[in-house]
A and B are shown apart, each in its own frame.
Chain A
Amino acid sequence: MDTFETLRAIISDKFGMDAAEITPDTLLDTLGVDSLHAFDIIFEAEEKYGIRLSLGTDSPKTIQDFVNLIDEARAGQGR
């Protein structure tokens, strides 16, 4: 599974929703993901990949933003 598919599986499981409803462009707001739920999703991704994500000042707004964050962290670790 690529990063998007993994993240989609995490989110669809957490929200109990159909994975097909989640696309790279989906806004986290529209899923009802607040900052706490975002921490929860980040946590699951970190556990899954053995990484630590640095959020900086721009918090992710779309699923693709999340994917990019994860991919950057994984690249930093040489995957």
Chain B
Amino acid sequence: MRRVVVTGMGALSPVGSDPGTLFANLMAGRSGIRRLTTSFIDQRDSQLAATVEGFDPLVHFPKIKANSLDRATQFALVASQQAVADAGLDLQHENRERIGVSLGTGMGGATTIEESYLRLCRDPASRPKPFTLLMAMNNAAGSQIGLDFGLTGPCMTHCNACASSAIAIGEAARLIRHGYADAMLAGGTEALLTYSTIRAWEVLRTLAIEDPEDPSASCKPFSADRTGLVLGEGAAMLVLEDYELARARGARIHAEIIGYGGSNDSAHITAPSVEGQARAMQLALNDADIPAGEIDYINAHGTGTKLNDAIETAAIKRVCGTGIPVSSTKSMHGHLVGASGAMEFVACLMALREQSLPPTAHLKQPDPECDLDYVPNIGRRDVNIRTIMSNSFAFGGSSGVLIARKI
């Protein structure tokens, strides 16, 4: 079987518009969570989100094109451009029949769908705009990446809520490993900060209550005073390649993807299960063929909800014991849903490169149910890490766990 490596990274996040800035801000404990200032804000209880501030699509695309792409697709294309540039891939000279796309998204073109419904509800005699369907469909971003880069290999969209992009990366790695593609653009995108979407999360009582002293500190994973998650937006994309081909072209290799575990709880549509999460982690370790003791850092799913963080802690303890540093960077970049797995995997790859562990921010009150080393509040530099695990668990019960190793 072929080995699969990451040669390119791109990220457009609430705490930085490239992987380096993202990681520098995570290490500094800077949060991108803020109070929303959109016009509908006074109608909602929750006013928090982690937005990609100041994103201007016209900087990246001609106007005619920008207007025919949903915000989620715009994010995905910008992150893909970064990843391809970072990989130093000259696609004009590559066999693009052997390069594909694997993209995760939770809600696809949520903005477009909402705008269309608003238009129709306000004036039933009106019609959706001609590009509505093509902007809203869940495979829009993946297809557009294929179009823009001329990639004619497999093009897949994985829609598994919060595990979408971890699964997208894992499945892309398998395609290369088993010879169905030589390289893949893989990752995730999400732009779901619309009125109805935020309210829909809100009524499930999953969203964090605003910290009265500091709204940016409202997401507190693993802390006893945690009250929930904060939704975010953004995209993270990777270039995955067959190891031998990457080496032959002299590519810089960020890390090797050595393990992927995908599973489904099939227990409850929202409640996480220790068994399901533990199984996904164990499957990833089995895939990597390494013992848990070789993992040096775990980037947790760590949403900041009462239930997830306690369950995930129990699952990590069951599979990996208590000695591995674990952190949740969602405390700063928020929960990017379909893009979260890819964004956190980028954070892990940066951790390997920088030999630094990003902290769990805003962890001030110990919780007896959350008793691991969560790298609280202050990142650690000059560590010696070689192998990381990144956890993603979804509403619906899907899990995606990735393991990468520095080579």
| B130→A32 contact, CB < 8 A | no
Residues in B with CB closer than 8 Å to A15 are 62-64
| B131→A32 contact, CB < 8 A | no
Residues in B with CB closer than 8 Å to A48 are none
> Which residues of B from 240 to 296 have beta carbons under 8 Å from A?
none
Q: Is A36 an interface residue (CB 8 A)?
A: yes
Q: Considering the complex, give the chain A residue whose CB is closest to the CB of B66.
A: A16
Please report the number of residue pairs spanning A and B whose Cβ atoms sit closer than 8 angstroms: 26
| A16→B130 contact, CB < 8 A | no
Q: Considering the complex, give the chain B residue whose CB is closest to the CB of A16.
A: B63
| B129→A16 contact, CB < 8 A | no
Residues in B with CB closer than 8 Å to A37 are 64, 68
Main SS of the interface on chain B? loop
Q: Is B67 an interface residue (CB 8 A)?
A: yes
| A40→B62 contact, CB < 8 A | no
Docked Cα-Cα span, A36 to B64, in Å, equals: 11
Q: Is B118 an interface residue (CB 8 A)?
A: no
Residues in A with CB closer than 8 Å to B127 are 43
Residues in B with CB closer than 8 Å to A14 are 63-64, 67
Docked Cα-Cα span, A39 to B134, in Å, equals: 13
| A32→B64 contact, CB < 8 A | yes
Q: Considering the complex, give the chain B residue whose CB is closest to the CB of A11.
A: B64
Q: Considering the complex, give the chain A residue whose CB is closest to the CB of B134.
A: A36
| B62→A16 contact, CB < 8 A | yes
Q: Is B383 an interface residue (CB 8 A)?
A: no
Docked Cα-Cα span, A32 to B68, in Å, equals: 14
Residues in A with CB closer than 8 Å to B200 are none
Contact mask for chain A residues 59-71; partner B; CB cutoff 8 A; 1 contact, 0 none: 0000000000000
> Which residues of B from 109 to 138 have beta carbons under 8 Å from A?
126-127, 129-131, 134
Docked Cα-Cα span, A67 to B120, in Å, equals: 28
Output the least CB separation between B238 and chain A (Å).
30
Residues in A with CB closer than 8 Å to B41 are none
**How big is the B interface, by class?**
10 to 19
> Which residues of A from 1 to 54 have beta carbons under 8 Å from B?
14-16, 32, 36-37, 39-40, 43, 47
Residues in A with CB closer than 8 Å to B129 are 40, 43
Q: Considering the complex, give the chain A residue whose CB is closest to the CB of B61.
A: A16
Output the least CB separation between B331 and chain A (Å).
39
Residues in A with CB closer than 8 Å to B134 are 36
Residues in B with CB closer than 8 Å to A43 are 127, 129-130
Q: Is B58 an interface residue (CB 8 A)?
A: yes
Counting chain A CB atoms within 10 Å of each CB, which of B58, B64, B129, B131 scores highest? B64
Residues in A with CB closer than 8 Å to B64 are 14-16, 32, 37
Output the least CB separation between B199 and chain A (Å).
30
Output the least CB separation between A43 and chain B (Å).
5
Docked Cα-Cα span, A36 to B63, in Å, equals: 15
Residues in A with CB closer than 8 Å to B131 are 36, 40
Docked Cα-Cα span, A40 to B63, in Å, equals: 14
Output the least CB separation between B256 and chain A (Å).
41
Residues in A with CB closer than 8 Å to B130 are 36, 39-40, 43
Docked Cα-Cα span, A40 to B69, in Å, equals: 13
Chain A residues proximal to chain B, CB less than 8 Å:
14-16, 32, 36-37, 39-40, 43, 47
Closest 8 CB pairs of A and B: A16-B63, A39-B130, A15-B64, A40-B130, A43-B130, A14-B64, A15-B63, A40-B131
Q: What are 26 inter-chain pairs, A to B, with CB distance below 8 A? A: A14-B63, A14-B64, A14-B67, A15-B62, A15-B63, A15-B64, A16-B58, A16-B62, A16-B63, A16-B64, A32-B64, A36-B68, A36-B130, A36-B131, A36-B134, A37-B64, A37-B68, A39-B130, A40-B68, A40-B129, A40-B130, A40-B131, A43-B127, A43-B129, A43-B130, A47-B126
